[in-house]
Structure 1
Protein backbone atom coordinates (compact mmCIF):
# COMPACT_ATOMS: atom_id res chain seq x y z
CA UNK A 1 0.00 0.00 0.00
CA UNK A 2 1.42 3.38 -1.06
CA UNK A 3 2.45 5.48 1.93
CA UNK A 4 2.46 2.58 4.41
CA UNK A 5 5.79 1.05 5.48
CA UNK A 6 6.27 -1.98 7.74
CA UNK A 7 9.17 -3.09 9.90
CA UNK A 8 8.54 -6.75 10.80
CA UNK A 9 9.56 -7.86 14.29
CA UNK A 10 8.11 -11.36 14.03
CA UNK A 11 6.23 -12.92 11.11
CA UNK A 12 4.98 -16.38 10.13
CA UNK A 13 3.08 -16.60 6.86
CA UNK A 14 2.90 -14.84 3.52
CA UNK A 15 -0.01 -12.55 2.58
CA UNK A 16 -1.93 -13.85 5.59
CA UNK A 17 0.45 -13.94 8.55
CA UNK A 18 0.76 -14.09 12.30
CA UNK A 19 2.79 -10.91 12.63
CA UNK A 20 4.15 -8.31 15.00
CA UNK A 21 5.32 -5.15 13.22
CA UNK A 22 5.98 -1.45 13.52
CA UNK A 23 3.91 0.26 10.81
CA UNK A 24 4.36 3.84 9.63
CA UNK A 25 1.54 5.67 7.83
CA UNK A 26 2.69 8.66 5.78
CA UNK A 27 0.43 11.74 6.02
CA UNK A 28 -2.70 11.23 3.95
CA UNK A 29 -2.24 7.48 3.50
CA UNK A 30 -5.10 5.00 3.76
CA UNK A 31 -5.77 1.29 3.48
CA UNK A 32 -8.73 -0.08 1.57
CA UNK A 33 -11.56 -1.55 3.68
CA UNK A 34 -10.71 -4.99 5.08
CA UNK A 35 -11.78 -7.63 7.58
CA UNK A 36 -9.45 -8.80 10.35
CA UNK A 37 -10.23 -12.50 10.22
CA UNK A 38 -7.67 -13.27 12.92
CA UNK A 39 -7.96 -10.02 14.86
CA UNK A 40 -5.73 -6.96 15.18
CA UNK A 41 -4.16 -5.36 18.26
CA UNK A 42 -2.20 -2.10 18.18
CA UNK A 43 -0.67 0.74 20.18
CA UNK A 44 -0.30 4.22 18.67
CA UNK A 45 3.29 5.37 19.13
CA UNK A 46 3.30 8.61 17.13
CA UNK A 47 0.72 10.80 15.38
CA UNK A 48 -2.99 9.98 15.07
CA UNK A 49 -4.36 6.72 13.66
CA UNK A 50 -7.84 6.98 12.15
CA UNK A 51 -10.66 4.82 10.88
CA UNK A 52 -14.42 5.13 10.58
CA UNK A 53 -14.77 4.34 14.29
CA UNK A 54 -12.73 7.31 15.50
CA UNK A 55 -9.37 9.03 15.91
CA UNK A 56 -6.68 7.38 18.03
CA UNK A 57 -3.86 9.65 19.29
CA UNK A 58 -0.55 8.65 20.87
CA UNK A 59 -1.10 6.18 23.71
CA UNK A 60 -4.20 4.57 22.23
CA UNK A 61 -4.50 0.81 22.79
CA UNK A 62 -6.96 -0.91 20.46
CA UNK A 63 -8.13 -4.49 20.04
CA UNK A 64 -10.15 -5.23 16.90
CA UNK A 65 -11.35 -8.81 17.44
CA UNK A 66 -11.67 -11.53 14.79
CA UNK A 67 -14.21 -10.74 12.03
CA UNK A 68 -14.11 -6.99 12.75
CA UNK A 69 -13.55 -4.62 9.84
CA UNK A 70 -12.43 -1.06 9.21
CA UNK A 71 -10.83 1.35 6.74
CA UNK A 72 -7.63 2.61 8.43
CA UNK A 73 -5.57 5.66 7.56
CA UNK A 74 -3.98 8.80 8.93
CA UNK A 75 -4.32 12.36 7.67
CA UNK A 76 -1.42 13.60 9.81
CA UNK A 77 0.64 10.40 9.66
CA UNK A 78 1.28 7.95 12.48
CA UNK A 79 3.39 5.05 13.75
CA UNK A 80 1.84 2.01 15.42
CA UNK A 81 2.95 -1.26 16.98
CA UNK A 82 0.55 -3.84 15.52
CA UNK A 83 -0.09 -7.54 16.09
CA UNK A 84 -2.15 -9.68 13.70
CA UNK A 85 -3.66 -13.15 14.06
CA UNK A 86 -2.89 -13.40 17.78
CA UNK A 87 -6.45 -13.63 19.13
CA UNK A 88 -8.60 -16.53 20.22
CA UNK A 89 -10.99 -17.23 17.33
CA UNK A 90 -14.07 -16.83 19.54
CA UNK A 91 -12.98 -13.43 20.94
CA UNK A 92 -15.47 -10.70 19.99
CA UNK A 93 -14.50 -8.07 22.58
CA UNK A 94 -13.38 -4.71 21.15
CA UNK A 95 -11.10 -2.55 23.30
CA UNK A 96 -10.54 1.20 22.90
CA UNK A 97 -8.34 2.76 25.60
CA UNK A 98 -5.83 5.57 25.93
CA UNK A 99 -2.90 4.72 28.17
CA UNK A 100 -2.29 8.40 28.89
CA UNK A 101 -5.76 8.76 30.42
CA UNK A 102 -5.54 5.75 32.75
CA UNK A 103 -4.28 5.76 36.32
CA UNK A 104 -1.50 3.41 37.35
CA UNK A 105 -1.45 1.38 40.57
CA UNK A 106 1.70 0.71 42.58
CA UNK A 107 3.03 -2.83 42.37
CA UNK A 108 3.12 -4.02 46.00
CA UNK A 109 5.90 -6.49 45.21
CA UNK A 110 8.29 -4.08 43.48
CA UNK A 111 9.33 -0.66 44.81
CA UNK A 112 9.26 2.04 42.14
CA UNK A 113 7.03 0.04 39.78
CA UNK A 114 3.42 0.81 38.86
CA UNK A 115 0.99 -0.96 36.53
CA UNK A 116 -1.78 0.09 34.13
CA UNK A 117 -3.92 -2.97 33.28
CA UNK A 118 -5.21 -2.96 29.70
CA UNK A 119 -6.68 -6.41 29.02
CA UNK A 120 -6.96 -9.83 30.64
CA UNK A 121 -8.61 -13.12 29.74
CA UNK A 122 -7.82 -16.80 30.30
CA UNK A 123 -5.12 -16.75 27.59
CA UNK A 124 -3.19 -13.52 28.11
CA UNK A 125 -2.69 -10.39 30.16
CA UNK A 126 -1.73 -6.98 28.70
CA UNK A 127 -0.52 -4.00 30.72
CA UNK A 128 1.77 -0.99 30.77
CA UNK A 129 4.55 -1.07 33.35
CA UNK A 130 6.04 2.20 34.62
CA UNK A 131 9.47 1.93 36.24
CA UNK A 132 11.09 4.85 38.03
CA UNK A 133 14.78 5.66 37.47
CA UNK A 134 17.25 3.19 39.00
CA UNK A 135 14.60 0.56 39.67
CA UNK A 136 14.91 -3.22 39.55
CA UNK A 137 12.13 -5.63 38.64
CA UNK A 138 12.40 -9.40 38.50
CA UNK A 139 9.57 -11.76 37.59
CA UNK A 140 8.88 -15.14 36.03
CA UNK A 141 5.82 -14.77 33.79
CA UNK A 142 3.89 -17.96 33.18
CA UNK A 143 3.35 -18.61 29.49
CA UNK A 144 6.16 -16.35 28.29
CA UNK A 145 6.28 -12.59 27.82
CA UNK A 146 6.66 -9.93 25.19
CA UNK A 147 7.61 -6.34 25.91
CA UNK A 148 7.97 -3.14 23.92
CA UNK A 149 9.66 -0.01 25.28
CA UNK A 150 7.33 2.99 24.94
CA UNK A 151 9.53 5.50 26.78
CA UNK A 152 12.93 5.58 28.47
CA UNK A 153 15.47 2.76 28.55
CA UNK A 154 16.39 -0.28 30.61
CA UNK A 155 18.54 -3.38 30.81
CA UNK A 156 17.26 -6.94 30.61
CA UNK A 157 20.25 -8.85 31.96
CA UNK A 158 22.93 -8.12 29.31
CA UNK A 159 20.60 -6.55 26.71
CA UNK A 160 20.16 -2.76 26.47
CA UNK A 161 16.61 -1.79 25.52
CA UNK A 162 15.89 1.74 24.34
CA UNK A 163 12.72 3.40 23.09
CA UNK A 164 10.90 1.15 20.58
CA UNK A 165 12.97 -1.90 21.46
CA UNK A 166 11.06 -5.21 21.38
CA UNK A 167 11.84 -8.33 23.39
CA UNK A 168 10.15 -11.71 23.51
CA UNK A 169 10.96 -13.95 26.48
CA UNK A 170 10.19 -17.67 26.03
CA UNK A 171 8.17 -19.81 28.39
CA UNK A 172 10.01 -20.53 31.67
CA UNK A 173 12.31 -17.51 31.29
CA UNK A 174 12.88 -15.13 34.20
CA UNK A 175 13.01 -11.44 33.30
CA UNK A 176 15.45 -9.19 35.17
CA UNK A 177 14.78 -5.54 34.35
CA UNK A 178 16.77 -2.53 35.55
CA UNK A 179 16.27 1.11 34.59
CA UNK A 180 18.87 3.86 34.38
CA UNK A 181 18.38 7.58 35.09
CA UNK A 182 15.60 7.83 32.48
CA UNK A 183 13.26 5.26 33.96
CA UNK A 184 11.03 3.38 31.52
CA UNK A 185 7.48 2.75 30.38
CA UNK A 186 6.91 -0.62 28.73
CA UNK A 187 3.98 -2.36 27.07
CA UNK A 188 3.88 -5.92 28.40
CA UNK A 189 1.96 -9.01 27.30
CA UNK A 190 2.25 -12.27 29.24
CA UNK A 191 0.85 -15.80 29.09
CA UNK A 192 0.14 -15.84 25.36
CA UNK A 193 3.11 -17.82 24.05
CA UNK A 194 1.52 -21.14 25.04
CA UNK A 195 -0.90 -20.60 22.13
CA UNK A 196 1.62 -19.71 19.40
CA UNK A 197 1.48 -23.08 17.63
CA UNK A 198 -2.31 -22.94 17.46
CA UNK A 199 -2.18 -19.38 16.14
CA UNK A 200 0.24 -20.42 13.39
CA UNK A 201 -1.95 -23.42 12.56
CA UNK A 202 -4.96 -21.14 12.10
CA UNK A 203 -2.95 -18.88 9.77
CA UNK A 204 -1.78 -21.84 7.68
CA UNK A 205 -5.35 -23.12 7.36
CA UNK A 206 -6.50 -19.93 5.61
CA UNK A 207 -3.32 -19.22 3.59
Structure 2
Protein backbone atom coordinates (compact mmCIF):
# COMPACT_ATOMS: atom_id res chain seq x y z
CA UNK A 1 0.00 0.00 0.00
CA UNK A 2 1.22 3.48 -0.85
CA UNK A 3 -0.32 6.71 0.45
CA UNK A 4 1.49 10.02 -0.18
CA UNK A 5 4.60 7.90 -0.64
CA UNK A 6 6.64 10.26 -2.82
CA UNK A 7 8.48 12.26 -0.16
CA UNK A 8 9.99 14.55 -2.80
CA UNK A 9 6.54 16.12 -3.31
CA UNK A 10 4.72 18.41 -0.92
CA UNK A 11 1.34 17.08 0.20
CA UNK A 12 -1.32 18.85 2.26
CA UNK A 13 -3.64 16.55 4.20
CA UNK A 14 -6.74 17.62 6.11
CA UNK A 15 -6.75 14.74 8.59
CA UNK A 16 -10.19 15.51 10.03
CA UNK A 17 -11.71 14.92 6.58
CA UNK A 18 -10.21 11.42 6.30
CA UNK A 19 -12.22 8.32 7.19
CA UNK A 20 -11.15 6.23 10.18
CA UNK A 21 -9.77 2.85 8.97
CA UNK A 22 -9.97 -0.17 11.27
CA UNK A 23 -6.65 -1.68 12.37
CA UNK A 24 -6.22 -5.42 13.01
CA UNK A 25 -6.97 -4.69 16.71
CA UNK A 26 -10.57 -4.16 17.80
CA UNK A 27 -11.21 -0.59 18.95
CA UNK A 28 -8.13 0.89 17.26
CA UNK A 29 -8.65 2.99 14.13
CA UNK A 30 -6.30 5.02 11.95
CA UNK A 31 -6.30 7.95 9.59
CA UNK A 32 -3.28 7.25 7.36
CA UNK A 33 -1.35 10.39 6.35
CA UNK A 34 1.45 8.57 4.52
CA UNK A 35 2.28 4.90 4.17
CA UNK A 36 4.76 2.71 2.35
CA UNK A 37 3.98 -0.96 3.01
CA UNK A 38 1.21 -3.11 4.41
CA UNK A 39 0.65 -3.70 8.15
CA UNK A 40 4.38 -3.35 8.89
CA UNK A 41 5.15 -0.07 7.12
CA UNK A 42 6.89 3.24 7.11
CA UNK A 43 3.84 5.25 8.10
CA UNK A 44 2.48 8.43 9.59
CA UNK A 45 -1.03 8.20 11.04
CA UNK A 46 -3.52 9.65 13.45
CA UNK A 47 -4.52 6.69 15.65
CA UNK A 48 -7.62 6.50 17.84
CA UNK A 49 -7.86 4.02 20.71
CA UNK A 50 -11.38 3.34 22.00
CA UNK A 51 -11.65 3.06 25.79
CA UNK A 52 -10.18 -0.25 26.97
CA UNK A 53 -8.50 -1.11 23.65
CA UNK A 54 -4.92 -2.33 23.46
CA UNK A 55 -2.42 -3.92 21.12
CA UNK A 56 -0.63 -7.12 22.05
CA UNK A 57 3.04 -6.75 23.05
CA UNK A 58 5.24 -6.04 20.04
CA UNK A 59 8.71 -4.85 18.99
CA UNK A 60 9.19 -1.70 16.92
CA UNK A 61 11.94 -2.96 14.65
CA UNK A 62 12.16 0.40 12.85
CA UNK A 63 11.28 2.58 15.84
CA UNK A 64 8.25 4.74 16.55
CA UNK A 65 7.55 8.21 17.81
CA UNK A 66 4.23 9.66 18.84
CA UNK A 67 2.53 12.74 20.28
CA UNK A 68 -0.59 12.33 22.43
CA UNK A 69 -3.32 14.61 21.02
CA UNK A 70 -6.26 13.64 23.25
CA UNK A 71 -6.83 11.40 26.28
CA UNK A 72 -4.17 9.26 27.95
CA UNK A 73 -2.03 6.71 26.08
CA UNK A 74 -0.67 3.88 28.22
CA UNK A 75 1.83 1.06 28.14
CA UNK A 76 3.80 -0.86 30.74
CA UNK A 77 6.26 2.06 30.93
CA UNK A 78 3.69 4.64 32.06
CA UNK A 79 0.70 6.86 31.38
CA UNK A 80 1.15 9.60 28.78
CA UNK A 81 -1.36 12.49 28.87
CA UNK A 82 -2.06 15.09 26.16
CA UNK A 83 1.17 16.71 24.97
CA UNK A 84 3.41 13.72 25.72
CA UNK A 85 6.07 13.11 23.07
CA UNK A 86 7.56 9.62 23.10
CA UNK A 87 10.42 8.40 20.93
CA UNK A 88 10.87 4.62 21.04
CA UNK A 89 13.99 3.65 19.06
CA UNK A 90 14.44 0.55 16.89
CA UNK A 91 14.13 -2.73 18.81
CA UNK A 92 12.05 -1.13 21.59
CA UNK A 93 8.99 -3.06 22.71
CA UNK A 94 5.77 -2.34 24.55
CA UNK A 95 2.08 -3.22 24.97
CA UNK A 96 0.17 -0.02 24.07
CA UNK A 97 -3.41 0.80 24.92
CA UNK A 98 -5.72 3.26 26.63
CA UNK A 99 -8.14 2.67 29.50
CA UNK A 100 -10.13 5.83 28.80
CA UNK A 101 -9.42 6.19 25.08
CA UNK A 102 -6.96 8.47 23.32
CA UNK A 103 -5.81 9.89 19.99
CA UNK A 104 -2.15 10.02 18.99
CA UNK A 105 -0.07 11.23 16.03
CA UNK A 106 2.41 8.42 15.27
CA UNK A 107 5.34 7.87 12.90
CA UNK A 108 6.85 4.43 12.28
CA UNK A 109 10.05 3.16 10.62
CA UNK A 110 11.81 6.51 10.04
CA UNK A 111 14.75 5.89 12.44
CA UNK A 112 18.36 5.13 11.61
CA UNK A 113 18.90 1.38 12.33
CA UNK A 114 21.61 2.00 14.96
CA UNK A 115 19.61 4.66 16.85
CA UNK A 116 18.87 3.69 20.48
CA UNK A 117 17.88 7.07 21.96
CA UNK A 118 14.64 6.95 23.97
CA UNK A 119 12.89 10.28 24.65
CA UNK A 120 9.90 11.07 26.88
CA UNK A 121 8.86 14.74 27.06
CA UNK A 122 5.78 16.55 28.35
CA UNK A 123 5.42 19.36 25.81
CA UNK A 124 2.67 21.09 27.82
CA UNK A 125 5.35 21.85 30.43
CA UNK A 126 7.88 23.15 27.89
CA UNK A 127 8.32 26.74 26.76
CA UNK A 128 8.70 27.36 23.04
CA UNK A 129 11.14 29.86 21.57
CA UNK A 130 10.29 32.38 18.88
CA UNK A 131 11.06 31.10 15.41
CA UNK A 132 14.07 33.03 14.05
CA UNK A 133 12.46 33.69 10.64
CA UNK A 134 8.67 33.71 11.07
CA UNK A 135 6.44 35.98 13.14
CA UNK A 136 3.90 34.41 15.51
CA UNK A 137 5.52 30.97 15.34
CA UNK A 138 7.12 29.31 18.36
CA UNK A 139 9.28 26.18 18.33
CA UNK A 140 9.76 23.43 20.91
CA UNK A 141 12.76 21.24 20.07
CA UNK A 142 11.98 17.57 20.76
CA UNK A 143 15.00 15.70 19.36
CA UNK A 144 18.08 16.33 17.26
CA UNK A 145 20.96 14.20 16.01
CA UNK A 146 23.15 14.08 12.90
CA UNK A 147 20.29 12.69 10.76
CA UNK A 148 17.13 14.44 11.88
CA UNK A 149 15.61 17.24 13.88
CA UNK A 150 12.15 16.92 15.41
CA UNK A 151 10.30 20.04 16.58
CA UNK A 152 6.79 21.04 17.56
CA UNK A 153 5.69 24.31 15.96
CA UNK A 154 2.87 26.45 17.35
CA UNK A 155 1.31 28.85 14.83
CA UNK A 156 -0.53 31.81 16.31
CA UNK A 157 -3.31 33.49 14.33
CA UNK A 158 -1.91 35.50 11.44
CA UNK A 159 1.45 33.72 11.54
CA UNK A 160 3.72 35.14 8.86
CA UNK A 161 5.12 32.33 6.73
Band the TM-score falls in, shorter-chain normalisation? 0.7 to 0.9
Q: Which residue of 2 aligns with 1:114?
A: 138
User: TM-score, normalised to structure 2's length?
Assistant: 0.81
Q: Structure 2 vs 1, CA of residues 109 and 36 (structure 1 numbering), >3 Å: closer, same or farther?
A: same
Give the counterpart of 1:96 among 120, 126, 133: 120
CA distance in 1, matches of 2:135, 2:143: 23
Which aligned pairs between 1:65-80 and structure 2 lie closer than 5 A? Answer: 65-80=89-104
Q: Greater share of strand residues, 1 or 2?
A: 1
Structure 1 range deviating more: 127-136 or 91-100: 127-136
Which of these two proteins has the greater Rg computed from alpha carbons? 1
Matches within 5 A, 1:15-30: 15-30=39-54
Give the structure 2 partner of residue 85 of structure 1.
109
- For 1:132 and 1:13, the matched residues in 2 are separated by 36
Cα distance in 1 between the residues matched to 2:110 and 2:132: 30
SS in structure 1 of the partner of residue 124 of structure 2: helix
Residue 109 to residue 8, structure 1, CA distance change in 2 (3 Å): closer
Q: CA RMSD in A?
A: 1.1
**Distance in 1 of aligned mates of 2:102 and 2:57:** 18
Alignment of 1:111-190 (within 5 A): 111-137=135-161
- Measured in 1, the distance between the counterparts of 2:142 and 2:119 equals 9
Q: Determine helix, strand or coil for the equivalent of 1:100.
A: helix
Task: Tell me how far apart the structure 2 counterparts of residues 130 and 13 of structure 1 sit (CA, whole Å).
Answer: 31
- Give the number of equivalent residue pairs: 137
CA distance in structure 2 between the aligned counterparts of 1:95 and 1:66, rounded to whole angstroms:
13
SS in 2 for 1:130: strand
1:123 Cα offset (Å): 1.3
Q: Unaligned regions of 5+ residues in structure 2, if any?
A: 1-24
- Select the structure that is richer in helix: 1
Seen in structure 2, the aligned counterparts of structure 1 residues 8 and 110 have a Cα distance that, compared at 3 Å, is closer
The alignment partner of 1:136 has SS state of coil
